């Protein structure tokens, strides 16, 4: 059983998916949830699940290094072995990452390496792509540039609003992240020569597809 620390800044629906997964037969538990935003609803979700929920503001430390040292210290105090970023809106520096060597995962709402950074869903919509999705990747010091672990794909309709696409991708994120955390917890996930290496378990795949992607176009609506 591994101990996971979740870093977030917002609503925490991915945290909820991880909490729900941990209720079952799952090789990880969430030891602490940390938010840089006090009002993040993710902290409420953690408290409701009986998980320590801690606000560590990113301002007021004098330096990013001091903020990140506090993050690391808090994670360490809770016995954390892996860190899962779930809507954490801060870039982590090499000094932080060196303390957690290839032990930090992130979920990004786009099929990386396309559309890194802010608003991956809006970028996808604006570009006119017809396939979109989410990626779980190891965090390195770039913006959404670390080794990709697995991805989940869905479609983009010309009728979609940004909210439609956000919701459709989120549904896929909630399947993808628990799957990747299980891989990590079972010691089946590592980085070698800059690439993510995964030992797949029976029935697992590194690309999850929205069933709607498989609809038969000859059958009409
Ligand atoms: C998700 O879209 C995730 O991919 C991105 O931030 C969003 C967090 O959503 N990194 P939530 O707070 O988990 O609902």
The H or E element containing residue 13 is helix 13-23
Segment 46-73 shows an average pLDDT of: 96
Q: Where are the domains of the chain?
A: 1-101, 107-221
Of 104, 175, 194, 93, the residue nearest 133 (C-alpha) = 175
Average predicted confidence (pLDDT) for the chain? 96
Quick one: CA dihedral 145, 150, 154, 160, positive or negative? negative
Alpha-carbon dihedral angle through residues 103, 184, 90, 10, given to the nearest 10 degrees? -150
pLDDT of residue 221: 56
The domain made up of 1-101 is a member of CATH 3.30.470.20: no
For 137, half-sphere exposure in the C-beta direction (CA atoms, 13 angstrom radius) is: 21
Best residue for ligand 1 mutational test, from 6, 8, 13, 14 (most atoms within 8 Å of Cβ): 14
Mean pLDDT throughout 47-56? 98
Neighbours of 153 (CB within 10 A): 18
Q: Whose CA is nearest to atom 1 of ligand 1?
A: 87
% residues pLDDT > 90 (the chain): 95
Of 116, 120, 214, 213, residue with least CA distance to 165: 120
Same fold, 1-101 and 107-221: yes
Is the CB of 87 inside a 6 Å radius of any atom of ligand 1?
yes
Candidates 11, 34, 86, 177: which one to mutate for ligand 1, based on the most atoms within 8 Å of Cβ? Answer: 86
Question: What are the DSSP calls for 117-156, one per residue?
Answer: SS-HHHHHHHHT-SEEEEEEEE--SSSS-SPEEEEEEEE-
Is residue 111 within 6 Å of ligand 1 at its C-beta? no
pLDDT at 82 (0 to 100) = 98
Report the 10 Å Cβ neighbour count for 197.
12
Q: Map tokens 């290094």 to a residue.
A: 65
What pLDDT score was predicted for residue 214?
A: 81
13 CA to middle of ligand 1, Å? 7
> 107-221 adopts what CATH topology?
Rossmann fold (3.40.50)
């Amino acid at each position: 059983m591994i101990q996971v620390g979740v870093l977030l800044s917002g609503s925490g629906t991915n945290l909820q998916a991880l909490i729900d997964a941990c209720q079952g037969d799952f090789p990880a538990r969430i030891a602490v949830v940390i938010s840089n935003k006090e009002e993040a609803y993710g902290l409420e979700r953690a408290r409701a699940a009986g998980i320590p929920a801690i606000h560590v503001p990113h301002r007021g430390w004098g330096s990013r290094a001091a903020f990140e040292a506090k993050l690391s210290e808090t994670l360490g105090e809770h016995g954390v072995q892996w860190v899962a970023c779930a809507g954490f809106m801060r870039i982590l520096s090499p000094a932080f990452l060196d303390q957690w060597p290839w032990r930090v995962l992130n979920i990004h709402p786009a099929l990386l390496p396309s559309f890194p950074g802010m608003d991956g869903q809006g970028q996808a919509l604006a570009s006119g792509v017809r396939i979109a999705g989410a990626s779980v990747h190891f965090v390195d010091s770039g913006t959404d540039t670390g080794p990709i672990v697995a991805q989940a794909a869905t479609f983009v309709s010309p009728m979609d609003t940004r909210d439609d696409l956000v919701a459709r991708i989120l549904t896929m994120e909630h399947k993808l992240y628990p799957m990747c955390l299980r891989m990590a917890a079972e010691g089946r996930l590592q980085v070698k020569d800059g690439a993510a290496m995964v030992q797949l378990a029976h029935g697992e795949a590194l690309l999850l597809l929205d069933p709607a992607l498989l609809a038969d176009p000859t059958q009409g609506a």
